[in-house]
Amino acid sequence: MLFLSVLKPALVFPGNSRLSAPSHSRGCREEQLPNATQFIADLARSVGFLSRLPVPDRFFRGYDGSVSRAVQAFPAAGLVIALVPALLLWLICLSHDPLLAALAALGLQSLLTGALHEDGLADTADGLGGGRDRDQALVIMKDSRIGSYGVIALILSFGLRAAALAALGRYDPALAALGLLAASAASRALMVAHWRALPSVREGGVAASAGQPEEQARNMALLTGAVAALVLLVPVAGPVRSLLPLVFAGLIAFGFTRYVSNKLGGHTGDTIGATQQLSEIALLIGLALAL
């Protein structure tokens, strides 16, 4: 399964009916809509693209499936997706063990996303870890079966995030909840940066069919992701302890992008999902270590 496997040529979104054929006139009218209206439409499509949350059908009528511009709303969609898990985390932390709260929140978040990014992380770990060269790595990543590298990657992903959130919860339950929201927004901005920075390895792949993010949309995603994270964290953690985890997450995403470029020569849907996971892990660890 690929990271963007929810976007098939038929384009069926969870909770939504099959989309109609692209409409040129619809696209022309949409370009004339106010920016706020465009962003709301992009947000709705991003939520449908990144999760299993139901989105009204009207946002997809006449939509051609490209997310080249819609990626600007990925950080905002991350906030929407993580809102209920963050609330659950905060509520359980108030009266029970923070580790239990962290695992429950991460489990709920995975259900809401259909484990979309976790799947990309596992496939990427198998391909990059087990592939002797580029071609073999791509073959392994396309295989729906999970290998030992993928299993270890998933264990570490949930384990490190849960441990970091538990540490934050013991310090301040509100900080743990806000940290989860901040990580969800910032990591989805960094996955857009990875997507934009590299060409698609597979010309006919699902990631390629979704379109390359526009430069302006990439910039907007990075700006809104960073601002959202700082607005959430600074009042509770302070400016320095809020900024350092963001920088750490950015460095991890940048280093991973360079590694993927050298190993594969471009991105796949799986590496996009893996970037989100690595960035989220890095931000939460950085925040916990900054306490």
* pLDDT per residue as tens digits for the range 229-248: 999 999 999 999 999 999 99
Neighbours of 111 (CB within 10 A): 12
Q: Give me the percent of the chain exceeding a pLDDT of 70.
A: 86
What whole-number distance in Å separates Cα of residue 253 and Cα of residue 192? 10
What whole-number distance in Å separates Cα of residue 54 and Cα of residue 217? 24
Tens of pLDDT, residue by residue over 118-172, are 999 999 999 999 999 999 999 999 998 999 999 999 999 999 999 999 999 999 9
* Domain assignment present for 9: no
What whole-number distance in Å separates Cα of residue 201 and Cα of residue 197? 12
* Domain assignment present for 18: no
Our count of domains for the chain comes to 1
What whole-number distance in Å separates Cα of residue 1 and Cα of residue 230? 34
For residue 225, report the phi and psi dihedrals to the nearest 5 degrees. Answer: -65, -45
**Overall pTM surpassing 0.85 (yes/no):** yes
What whole-number distance in Å separates Cα of residue 10 and Cα of residue 283? 35
* Domain assignment present for 54: no
| 3-class secondary-structure state, position 144 | coil
Q: Which domain holds residue 259?
A: 71-289
Burial of 240 (0-12, 13-18, 19+ CB in 10 A): exposed
* Domain assignment present for 63: no
The strand pairing partners of 267, in sequence order, are 200
Tens of pLDDT, residue by residue over 38-50, are 889 999 999 999 9
* Domain assignment present for 28: no
Tens of pLDDT, residue by residue over 181-200, are 999 999 999 999 999 999 99
